Amino acid sequence: MSEVVAIVPLRDGHSGKTRLAASFTPEQRARLISGMANHVIETLLAVPEIAQVIVVTRDADFARTLLSADPRVRIVAQPDDVVGLNAAIALGVASAPDGASALVMHADLPMVGTDDIRELIGRESALAIAPDRHRTGTNALFLRGDAFGRGFGFQFGEGSYHRHRAEALRCGLPCETVIQMGTETDLDTIGDWDSLPRVVRISLEAGAGLTNERGSSRLLRDDRPSLTVAG
């Protein structure tokens, strides 16, 4: 396998996760973004096959305050004329060493683990896609280094899972879908929040300052069904 570089696009800590605004203050949302991004990057760094993590962001100062000081983490500032998520990801890929394979992963995956990452990068196909739990979006994507010359274009955004598959077909790239709980579980809406295992919500709430002085949660209710994290 060629060298694997992870590309993590990251917005600032103030404008993201607006669909959680009914339950989280701007400061709490910033803490959620920070906590999840740290979790994703630390998990990537724990996989020996990942040589480097490139974080592409418009807010480099915010990224520096929350990300690991590990020398394998590199922050790439997104210029104003590089517009949109796909352009940001392409910038990250262009910043990687020539011939490297690319693992693109969103920063809002609170349950992703090292096994999920190894499952993606261990596939034989040129392209491996990890969709969200609705099978519409793409939460992570692995593209082998020898596939870049085929003209594949990133298709992140609404309906990206099916558009990525169509792009792979257009480019003649063998493509696999990888279904793992850690990669399909993202956090965008209150519905996503309610679907998280209870232990994960408790951890996120503690990091976001949503527990009171006695450690009790302000959002979790005993009448909500709880799930168990496997393993």
3 neighbors 99 (Cβ within 8 angstroms): yes
Domain carrying residue 57: 4-185
CA gap 95, 152 in Å, rounded? 17
Domain assignment present for 203: no
More confident residue, 118 or 151: 118
**Which pLDDT tens digit goes with each residue over 51-83?**
999 999 988 887 887 776 788 999 998 888 888
70 neighbors 45 (Cβ within 8 angstroms): yes
In the beta sheet, which residues pair with residue 73? 53
As given in the structure block, the two tokens for residue 34 are 């920070």
**Total structural domains in the chain?**
1
Q: Is 128 helix (H, G, I), strand (E, B) or coil?
A: strand
Reported as type and span, the H/E element at residue 62 is: helix 60-66
**Which pLDDT tens digit goes with each residue over 149-165?**
788 999 999 999 999 99
Domain assignment present for 44: yes
Domain assignment present for 205: no
Handedness of CA 71, 73, 209, 185 (dihedral sign): negative
Domain assignment present for 231: no
Domain assignment present for 115: yes
